[in-house]
Structure 1
Amino acid sequence: MAAIGDVARLAGVSKSTASRALSGGGHVAEETRLRVERAAAEIGYVVSPAAASLVTGRTKNIGVVIPFVNGWFFGEVLEGIERALLAAGYDLTLYNVAGGGEDRARVFDYFLARRRVDAVIAVGVDLDAHEVASLERREKPVLCLGGYAEGTPRISIDDVAAGRLAADHLIQLGHTRLAHVGGTGAARSVRSVPGGRRRGFLEALSSAGLAPGGRATVVEAEMTMPGGLAATLQLLGHPGRRPTGIVAASDELAFGALRAAERLGVAVPGELSVIGIDGHEYAEMFGLTTVEQYPAEQGRIAVDTLLRLLAEGPADDPLPDSGAPLPTRLVVRSTTARAPR
């Protein structure tokens, strides 16, 4: 089995220089580093993560906390994170905190400490003060992607603006009877993703003089296709109060809304316009009008930002564009049209 001494002899350097070149700890001239890497590759030497951590104090491992592993958005974000971490020479340890309660507490109080990660990316998860404090005690930087935690760096789209843009699109098409199919808990968690999109919807209605509860309705559902189906079946179940336009808090909710309209014989977009938010990979297939975002790119940006927080990238202003929201765009397809007369 190849050892660091073999690499050093082949590269013509000391063992300490070879170790620094392969672990990233301390300064090594670029020409020397490349010579050591070629020598290591030639004899098949792979750096031991445990040994490297003794030199650098780093595990080269990032913890990712996520509420779901089977949703489209989260899968796309994870792919972007994984590719960026691999390119930077980091491993990934994934924790699913959908269960909440004691299972979630163990992730923050035990597992993240035991598995020794250098930093944590929280994807679509709102962290409470205890969870943040638990990580800070262990000097682990935390970055929120989409979720929220008091006092920690955060990157995200502007969910309020996304909800407002989606509602404004329907209002400009002449719709006055509007409904919002939002995520569960949106009303009580205003800083969450569904909470922001609900707020944007309501702001657009207020600006247009359309008061919710009168000519607009807000309902909540799990942000899935079955959730959108069930909520929209209820919305459309009273012909006299049917909305002519639905703003769904996610594309998956919007897909469920389209299925509900089909089941009830409500024509889209002739009788009902539907718009989503996310830019799901199936949005084009469904002809869905949506406010598009780019989750895989968001994953890459999250890793770049975290490496800056770990002082492995440019030190100035680690947040992209001084913390400005990540980009979105309105994509108009065939599920929205002018309001029926």
Structure 2
Amino acid sequence: MRDPAAQAVFDFDALVLSPGIPHRLPKPHAVAERAVAAGVKVLCDVELLFQAVRASGSQARFAGITGTNGKSTTTALLAHILQRAGLPVAAGANLGPAALSLPLLPDNGVYVLEMSSYMLERIATIRFNAAAMLNLSADHIDRHGDMAGYVEAKRAIFDRQQPGDLAVIGVDDSLSRTMADELPGVVRVSGTQAPLADGLALPGAHNAQNAAAATAMARFFGVPDAVIADALRTYPGLPHRQQRIVTIGGVAFINDSKATNADAAERALVCYDRLIWIAGGMAKEGGIEPLAPLFPRIAKALLIGRDAPQFAATLSHHKVPFEIVGTLESAVPAAFAAAKATDAPVVLLSPACASWDQFTGYDQRGERFADLARALEGNA
């Protein structure tokens, strides 16, 4: 096969890259660099999906959801609500399945797409009839250059919206509030809003905000409140996001492996008054110092992964009991023993770190935690 990097890429209409391959920062792929220099558009597969759907003649609607945290949960929740309402739905993109594997929907159908910042910097014509930006905190700065670049990438989800479209912004953080102030006609949602369902299946104020965003979008697509409320009560949640694995001797083991930064871990820690915390891996900028107001809830921390010493220094400064155990294999039984010794009712894996030092991804990390917890249950 001919090396595409050696081809005259200016002969192409566009270059479609996997989201994880950079075309600018921190170092562009050789093919992407040639394309950008030649003025060739660099696109993502979601853009091709939109163009293909419109080329087919279908007027199916598009809902896009982004944010630093919560976008997978909100995407899946909105899809669940729309399905309960009997609408044709296809959900995917960053959440999976890939955009180009989604089926063609009729005019009354809705594509519910989780959009990462990597995808949003590679769209050109897609118009989201309903778009939501849930929250903003520091993430992927190496890819976008600085926080301003990251915010600008997220803001692109509202590009090309027209009068009558829906823009939803979560306003529980200052950056998102600023964005809401700058855009006209925004529907603001917050974790302080009471959800339609009294028994919302998902814990935490952040999930109340996710539910409020999904509710606003579902209403936009014509779903009655009674159907929305029922769907909120029955939604089971996604794996690795405050997923209850087992309860052993009154101690609940919670898998929140998707918490790959401190902001995400905060959303889990705030849900529990007293807990044993398993954390660590490849730390993000700022570490866990922002979590200090929640440290009194932690009866003991068990630290794993590459940056356990960094976390240990922070916890030591705040006089939080901790132990560097290195691996999940050591952390899970140690956490159970600590829970029994301190009467803590929860063991929470919410690492506040990326997982690549020890695992292929947060999902493998979460699955390993779940396997170890279930094995512990079998031996209890």
**Fold-level similarity (TM above 0.5):** no
How high is the TM-score relative to the length of structure 2? 0.31
Bigger Rg over Cα = 1
How high is the TM-score relative to the length of structure 1? 0.34
